[in-house]
């Protein structure tokens, strides 16, 4: 081991749930092909559709208009050859929106990627965390 690497405090440990890494936020976005994006907003919206059975209710839950929610779902549907969300018109049997099997697979895959990424960040930065500045303090003026 080089002298430089030895100075990284390899024995320093931070208990799970403590420190800046435990409170760090992750914003993971996949940019596919010609700018097609799949990120936490669309995934949260898909989850809201799954739990509410409605694009309107999912959008409301997320503080967005029906139109904005519908456009985001349409974008997500266009990324794949099969839809992630299907809709049914209202009527005697009621309408609504539902995640397809593919929609559930995409949400689950994205959440697994997030979990793996968080684990990789924790692993890679664990020995560096004791060397973080006071990140709760406002940034100093430069």
Note every long-range contact of 116-119, with CB atoms under 8 Å and residues 24 or more positions apart, other chains counting: 117/26, 117/28, 118/26
* Structural domain includes residue 14: no
Average pLDDT on 31-50 reads 95
* Structural domain includes residue 12: no
**For residue 131, what pLDDT is reported?**
84
46 burial class (0-12, 13-18, 19+ CB within 10 angstroms)? buried
Mean pLDDT for the chain overall: 84
* Structural domain includes residue 87: yes
**For residue 94, what pLDDT is reported?**
63
Any bridge partners for residue 85, and if so which?
Answer: 99
* Structural domain includes residue 135: no
The whole model's pTM is what? 0.77
The Cα–Cα gap between 130 and 122 comes to 13
- Secondary structure class of 88 (helix, strand, coil): strand
Number of domains in the chain: 1
* Structural domain includes residue 19: no
Residue 73 has pLDDT above 60, yes or no: yes
CATH code, domain with 78: 1.10.10.10
Range of the domain at 97: 30-129
The Cα–Cα gap between 48 and 56 comes to 10
**For residue 40, what pLDDT is reported?**
95
Strand stretches in the chain, DSSP E: 30-32, 36-38, 85-88, 96-99
**For residue 93, what pLDDT is reported?**
60
Average pLDDT on 1-22 reads 46
- Secondary structure class of 85 (helix, strand, coil): strand
* Structural domain includes residue 134: no
**For residue 136, what pLDDT is reported?**
78
- Which of 12-16, 68-72, 87-91, 134-138 comes out lowest in average pLDDT? 12-16
* Structural domain includes residue 94: yes
Higher-pLDDT residue of 12, 83: 83
* Structural domain includes residue 137: no
């Amino acid at each position: 081991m080089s002298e430089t690497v030895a100075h990284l405090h390899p024995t320093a440990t931070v208990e799970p749930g403590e420190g800046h890494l435990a409170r760090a936020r992750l914003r993971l976005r996949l940019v596919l092909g010609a700018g097609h994006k799949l990120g936490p907003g669309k995934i949260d919206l898909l989850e809201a559709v799954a739990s509410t059975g409605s694009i309107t209710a999912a959008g409301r839950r997320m503080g967005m208009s029906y139109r904005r929610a519908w456009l985001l779902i349409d974008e997500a549907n266009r990324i794949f050859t099969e839809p992630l969300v299907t809709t049914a018109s209202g009527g005697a049997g009621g309408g609504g929106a539902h995640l397809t099997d593919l929609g559930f697979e995409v949400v689950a895959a994205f959440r697994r990627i997030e979990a793996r990424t968080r684990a990789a960040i924790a692993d890679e930065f664990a020995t560096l965390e004791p060397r973080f500045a006071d990140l709760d303090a406002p940034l100093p003026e430069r």
